[in-house]
Structure formats: structure tokens, C-alpha cells
């Protein structure tokens, strides 16, 4: 078990990064860049299909639990393979220090494919919501564990006002209750404990039954095989978010088809 609280370390570093970003590109200038942007692509609509489990395929070079996952890492090439294989949406990890991500990957991927794109990062304040839209995201991840109730309301309302969908991620019953009270349409269940990095697939089993049927649900972390996906499909999950299994594979296309049963 990890000795340190990984999430705490990530957030501390992220706050430094946000401060630097604001110096390089002040918020008012960032907002100006929203003018004239092409419309966002409908993310929630793309990943919620009746009687089908959809795939949000992730692009990431590294992670805190695994280190470097993919040595030869060309986001645009990976995105094109995903699109050709028939995935419904793409997740791009933009966190720099622990996942070797970059905001520039968002813009590159957006220009390369027609699929909706989720920005996966540790979003703490409005600046990053504007940033996500400017750099090409169609949706953002909001991690319940990092945000107060008021902050989630503020960020989801801001996102909506500029055309972004939100995936609100929870990892336990308390977090789920908070998200359900906020009436968010799309809930992510993360099987990974972000503090210890341990994965427990029973998290989904525990939480899914507590979610009303009118909500759309995405399951994240620890999904590696077609059996995992089939189990979640039978459960009634709308979509899975899978990254590591694909990034570790020398043949991404074949791995996607194998895991999804396509």
C-alpha cells in the first residue's frame, strides 16, 4: 500500500501548474479565446446508447501506479486507431507531472478525429474549465473527492454555459450521495482509490445499484478483459473508460476489439 497520499501530491503540484498557467495566459485572455470556437461535440449523447455498452478509450503515456506505460507515444496516431476501431469517445490525460500529459495533446487529438473528447485531469477551478474548452475538450472530468458541493455546482454550471459536458467521478457511497444530490446527469464510478491507488472492482458492484436509472454511468479503472466488460454490460452500465489495457498493448486495435468483443 502506498505510504503517501498520492492524490494530495497530485493536487499540490496541480495548484502550482495552474498558477504558472495564469501567469503565461491570464484568465481574461483565455476567455477571449472562447469567441468564435466551433461548437462542442455531444459527449454524453455519444456514450449513452440503448442496449449497448460504449467505450471511452483513453490516451495516456504514464500513471502514478505504473510509471511509463507506453514508450512510443504519439497521441494523434493513437486517436486515429481508436476512431477507426469504432470507439464512441476519447479521453485525453493532460496532467503533466504524474501522467506525462499535456494540454497540447487535446488540441492535436481534436484536429485529428471527429469523436467527442474528454479532458481527464484534476480540475480545481474555473480557469481550467475555460482552458479545457479553448484547447478542444467536449467534456471534463470532475473528481468529487477534490471539490466541495458548491465548487461542483459552480464548475458544472460554468461548463454547461460554454458547451462542455461533465463526468462527475465518485469512489465511495458518501461521494455518490453528494453527486446524486447535485442532480448531475453523468456519474463515473472509479474502482481505483485515488489516495492509495489500489483497485477494487467491487466498488462498482456496491455503488451501481444505488444510482437511479435516469442517470448515465461510466465505470473507470481495472477493466482489462472482455469478461470485465460483459459483466458491466449485464449490470446495465452505459460506458467503460479504459486506458492502461490499450496503452500497454503493442496492437491497440486488436486489444480494443478483444476487450470490447467487437
Note the pLDDT of residue 197.
Answer: 87
Residue 221 per-residue DSSP state: S
pLDDT range class, residue 1, cuts 50, 70, 90: very low
Note the pLDDT of residue 99.
Answer: 96
Neighbours of 92 (CB within 10 A): 27
What's the whole-number average pLDDT of the chain? 95
Q: Which of 60, 61, 178, 255 is an active site residue?
A: 60
Q: Which of 61, 221, 238, 255 is an active site residue?
A: 221
Helical H segments across the chain, by residue range? 6-24, 27-32, 43-47, 75-85, 103-112, 126-135, 149-161, 173-181, 202-208, 226-235, 244-247, 252-260
Q: Which of 132, 178, 220, 238 is an active site residue?
A: 220
| Gyration radius (Cα) of the chain, Å | 17
Query: How much is the average pLDDT of 141-148?
Result: 96
Note the pLDDT of residue 4.
Answer: 75
Q: Give dist(CA 22, CA 32) in Å, integer.
A: 14
The answer to whether 14 is a known catalytic residue is no
Pairing of strands 139-143, 165-170: parallel
Q: Give dist(CA 1, CA 84) in Å, integer.
A: 39
- Per-residue pLDDT for 256 more than 70? yes
- Per-residue pLDDT reduced to its tens digit, 19-32: 999 999 999 999 99
Cβ-count burial of 22 within 10 angstroms (0-12 exposed, 13-18 middle, 19+ buried)? middle
The answer to whether 190 is a known catalytic residue is yes
**Annotated domain spans of the chain:** 6-34+45-260
- Per-residue pLDDT reduced to its tens digit, 223-238: 999 999 999 999 999 9
Rounded to 5°, the CA angle 157-60-143 comes to 30
Q: Give dist(CA 261, CA 156) in Å, integer.
A: 34
Q: Give dist(CA 128, CA 134) in Å, integer.
A: 10
Neighbours of 81 (CB within 10 A): 18
6-34+45-260 belongs to CATH 3.20.20.70: yes
Note the pLDDT of residue 3.
Answer: 58
Q: Which of 14, 58, 132, 238 is an active site residue?
A: 58
Largest CA distance in the chain: 49
- Per-residue pLDDT reduced to its tens digit, 41-73: 999 999 999 889 999 999 999 999 899 999 999
The answer to whether 169 is a known catalytic residue is yes
- Per-residue pLDDT for 2 more than 50? no
Do the Cβ atoms of 54 and 239 come closer than 8 Å? yes
- Per-residue pLDDT reduced to its tens digit, 109-123: 999 999 999 999 999
The answer to whether 173 is a known catalytic residue is no
The answer to whether 58 is a known catalytic residue is yes
Under DSSP, is residue 18 helix (H, G, I), strand (E, B) or coil?
Answer: helix
Q: Which of 190, 191, 216, 238 is an active site residue?
A: 190
Neighbours of 34 (CB within 10 A): 12
Query: How much is the average pLDDT of 83-107?
Result: 97
- Per-residue pLDDT reduced to its tens digit, 172-196: 999 999 999 998 999 999 999 988 8
Q: Which of 108, 125, 144, 169 is an active site residue?
A: 169
The answer to whether 160 is a known catalytic residue is no
Amino acid at each position: 500500500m502506498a505510504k503517501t497520499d498520492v492524490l494530495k501530491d497530485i493536487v499540490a503540484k496541480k495548484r502550482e501548474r495552474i498558477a504558472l498557467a495564469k501567469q503565461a495566459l491570464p484568465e481574461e485572455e483565455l476567455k477571449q479565446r472562447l469567441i468564435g470556437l466551433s461548437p462542442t461535440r455531444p459527449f454524453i449523447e455519444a456514450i449513452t446508447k440503448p442496449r449497448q455498452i460504449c467505450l471511452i478509450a483513453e490516451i495516456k503515456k504514464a500513471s502514478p501506479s505504473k510509471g511509463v506505460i507506453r514508450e512510443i507515444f504519439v497521441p494523434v496516431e493513437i486517436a486515429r486507431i481508436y476512431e477507426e476501431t469504432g470507439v464512441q469517445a476519447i479521453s485525453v490525460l493532460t496532467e503533466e507531472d504524474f501522467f506525462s500529459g499535456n494540454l497540447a495533446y487535446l488540441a492535436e487529438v481534436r484536429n485529428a478525429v471527429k469523436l467527442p473528447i474528454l479532458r481527464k485531469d484534476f480540475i480545481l477551478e474555473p480557469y481550467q474549465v475555460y482552458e479545457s474548452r479553448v484547447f478542444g475538450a467536449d467534456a471534463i472530468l470532475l473528481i468529487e473527492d477534490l471539490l466541495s458541493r458548491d465548487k461542483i455546482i459552480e464548475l458544472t454550471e460554468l461548463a454547461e454555459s460554454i458547451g462542455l459536458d461533465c463526468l462527475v467521478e465518485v469512489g465511495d457511497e458518501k461521494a455518490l450521495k453528494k453527486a446524486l444530490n447535485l442532480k448531475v446527469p453523468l456519474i463515473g464510478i472509479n474502482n481505483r482509490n485515488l489516495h492509495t491507488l489500489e483497485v477494487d472492482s467491487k466498488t462498482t458492484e456496491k455503488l451501481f445499484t444505488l444510482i437511479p436509472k435516469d442517470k448515465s454511468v461510466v465505470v473507470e479503472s481495472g477493466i482489462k478483459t472482455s469478461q470485465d466488460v460483459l459483466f458491466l454490460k449485464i449490470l446495465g452500465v452505459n460506458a467503460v473508460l479504459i486506458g492502461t489495457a490499450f496503452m500497454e498493448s503493442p496492437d491497440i486495435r486488436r486489444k480494443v476489439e478483444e476487450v470490447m468483443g467487437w
